[in-house]
Amino acid sequence: MSAEHSEPKPEPTPKPHRHFDPSYVNAMSHFYRGELGRIMAWRGRLDPTTNWAITTTSTIFTVAFSIERVPHIIFFFNLAIVWMMLWIEARRYRFYDAFRARVRMLEAHFLVPIVAQNTSLLMGEWQKLVCEDLLLPSFKISVFEAVGRRLKRNYVMIFMVILLAWITKIFLHAQPQITSFGSFYNALRVGTSIPSWLVAILFVFTFVSVLGVTIYISKKTTGEISEFGTHRSLWRI
């Protein structure tokens, strides 16, 4: 039989193309798991400071309203303690946010292409940015933004409740009783050492600064998770 009439050889079955190197995927998976554990540890450190602020506030409320002779200036120390807790929590939040940025970088540029099985989604210099951050870790947000975010999430309500309790304490235990704005202003005075104008400035400054920072952060920055995603309805079961 001539070669012209020989049956053609079957073409070899092409091997499946691998989009990602298995060793690379394995290493990055461990890296992602480690960074995820790190941010969870820092996330767990955020709640205790809020709990301390609430516990301290509850204790001061109990003392202030159960003992009439306790001056209303005790709420100033309450505000000072809560401000200190907010500062500590904001510092912890900056560490949490720094490591969270790494995790989000891996999720957006590494996990998404794997899930979609599309290497074209591997875009930008994200690998270079992650390497630079591993060599020289840096914060991703300022102290002011960290304070604003924690204030917006938790502390704004604590401050508002303290200010409301402060006014209530003045009205309940003022001597003589408050019958006009002038008598209320005079009731702000504590003994002979703390004038009314100083207490009024502290009160107004706290109220304005808390609301101002909260509103500014709400308008100028984004949160960790979008409230209303584009495909949010697809997740309903």
What region does 189 belong to: left with phi over 0, alpha with psi -120 to 50, or beta?
beta
Is residue 7, in this structure, part of any structural domain at all?
no
Residue 202 falls within a domain, yes or no? yes
Q: Indicate whether 9 pLDDT > 70.
A: no
d(C-alpha 89, C-alpha 49), whole Å: 6
Domain with 116, as residue range(s), is: 22-223
pLDDT digits (tens, 9 = 90+) for 188-227: 888 778 888 888 898 899 999 999 999 998 888 766 665 5
Q: Is residue 6 part of a domain?
A: no
Q: Is residue 234 part of a domain?
A: no
Q: How large is the C-alpha radius of gyration of the chain?
A: 30
Q: Is residue 236 part of a domain?
A: no
Q: Is 13 contained in some domain?
A: no
Closest-CA residue to 129 (of 116, 110, 143): 110
Angle at 145 between CA 153 and CA 32, to 5 degrees: 80
Domain count, the chain: 1
**Model pLDDT, residue 4:** 53
Whether 14 is in a domain gets the answer no
- Segment 113-163, tens digit of pLDDT: 888 777 666 667 888 888 898 999 899 999 999 999 999 989 999 999 999
Q: Where are the alpha helices (DSSP H) in 45-155?
A: 46-66, 74-106, 112-116, 126-135, 143-150
pLDDT at residue 14, as a whole number: 47
pLDDT of residue 7: 58
How do residues 49-81 score in pLDDT, each as one tens digit?
A: 999 999 999 999 999 999 888 888 899 999 999
Q: Name the pTM for this structure.
A: 0.80
Q: What is the mean pLDDT of residues 82-87?
A: 95
